[in-house]
Chain A
Amino acid sequence: MTATADAPMAAAAAPPRTARGTTLDRAFEILCFSAATLLLTALAGLVVSLVIGGWPALSKFGFGFFISAEWDPVNEVYGAAGAVAGTVISAALALLFALPLAFGIAIFLVELCPPILRRTIGTAVELLAGIPSIVYGMWGLFVFAPWFAQHIQIPLMASAPPGSLMEKLVAGIPNGAGIFTASVILAIMILPFIAATLRELLNTIPATVRESAYGLGSTTFEVITKVSLPYIRTGAIGAVMLGLGRALGETMAVTFVIGNAHGFPTSLFAPGSTIASTIANEFTEATHELHIAALISLGLVLFVLTFAVLALARMLIGRQQTL
Chain B
Amino acid sequence: MSMANAAPRLSRRLGEGVFLAACWVATGIALVALTTILWSLLTKGVGGLDLNVFTKSTPAPGSEGGLLNAILGSLMMCTLAMIGASLVGFLAGTWLSEFARDSHYGKVVRFLNDVLLSAPSILVGLFVYEILVAPLKGFSGFAGAVALGLIAAPVITRTTEDVLRLQPTALREASVALGAPVWHTIFAVIWKSARSGMLTGALLAFARISGETAPLLFTALNNQFLSLNMTKPMANLPVVIANFALTAYDDWRRLAWTAALLITATVLVVTMLARTFLRGSARS
Contact = CB atoms under 8 A, between A and B. Distances in A.
Given A46-B119, A128-B33, A105 B26 contact: yes
Interface residues of B, number: 104
Contacts of B36: 139, 143
Interface string B27-40: 10111011011001
A261 interface: no
Nearest to A21: B181
A263 B158 CA distance: 39
A45 B154 CA distance: 15
Nearest to A246: B118
A46 B187 CA distance: 32
B169 A249 contact: no
Contact of A100 (B26, B89, B124, B210): B26
A103 interface: yes
A195 B131 contact: no
Given A121-B27, A133-B214, A242-B118, A43 B112 contact: yes
A221 B36 CA distance: 31
A interface, size bucket = 35 or more
A132 B263 contact: yes
A165 interface: no
A1 B96 CA distance: 14
B246 to A, nearest CB: 8
A8 B130 contact: no
Nearest to A27: B183
Interface in B142-161: 150, 153-154, 157
Interface string B203-227: 0000100111110011001000000
A280 interface: yes
Contacts of B187: 28
B23 interface: yes
A214 interface: no
B139 to A, nearest CB: 9
A278 B118 CA distance: 20
A192 B26 CA distance: 11
A30 to B, nearest CB: 10
A191 interface: yes
B171 to A, nearest CB: 9
B130 to A, nearest CB: 4
Contacts of A7: 169, 172
Contacts of B168: 6
Interface string A243-254: 001101111100
B37 A103 contact: no
B162 A1 contact: yes
Interface string B65-93: 00000000000000000000001111110
A6 B173 CA distance: 10
A33 B217 contact: no
A67 interface: no
B95 A249 contact: no
B62 interface: no
A39 B29 contact: no
A197 interface: no
Contacts of A133: 211-214
Given A131-B37, A306-B120, A310-B114, A53 B126 contact: yes
B21 to A, nearest CB: 10
Given A33-B95, A132-B211, A188-B33, A303 B123 contact: yes
Contacts of B119: 43, 46, 249, 303, 306-307
Given A9-B185, A130-B268, A143-B36, A307 B20 contact: no
Contacts of A53: 126, 130
Interface string B265-277: 0011001100100
Closest 3 pairs between A and B when the two form their complex, measured CB to CB: A249-B120, A132-B211, A104-B26
Given A105-B26, A125-B31, A303-B123, 13 more contacts: A35-B92, A42-B150, A43-B115, A112-B24, A126-B271, A127-B268, A134-B241, A142-B44, A192-B30, A219-B15, A220-B19, A299-B122, A302-B120
Interface of B: 12-13, 15-16, 19-20, 22-27, 29-31, 33-34, 36-37, 40-41, 44, 87-92, 94-102, 106, 108-109, 111-116, 118-124, 126-127, 129-131, 150, 153-154, 157, 162, 165-169, 172-173, 176, 179, 181-187, 190, 207, 210-214, 217-218, 221, 238, 241-242, 245-246, 256-257, 260, 263-264, 267-268, 271-272, 275
30 contacts: A5-B169, A6-B167, A17-B181, A25-B182, A29-B182, A33-B100, A35-B92, A39-B109, A39-B113, A39-B153, A49-B126, A100-B22, A101-B26, A105-B23, A111-B23, A124-B31, A132-B213, A132-B260, A135-B41, A135-B241, A138-B257, A219-B12, A249-B120, A252-B214, A279-B122, A283-B218, A284-B221, A296-B126, A307-B115, A314-B114
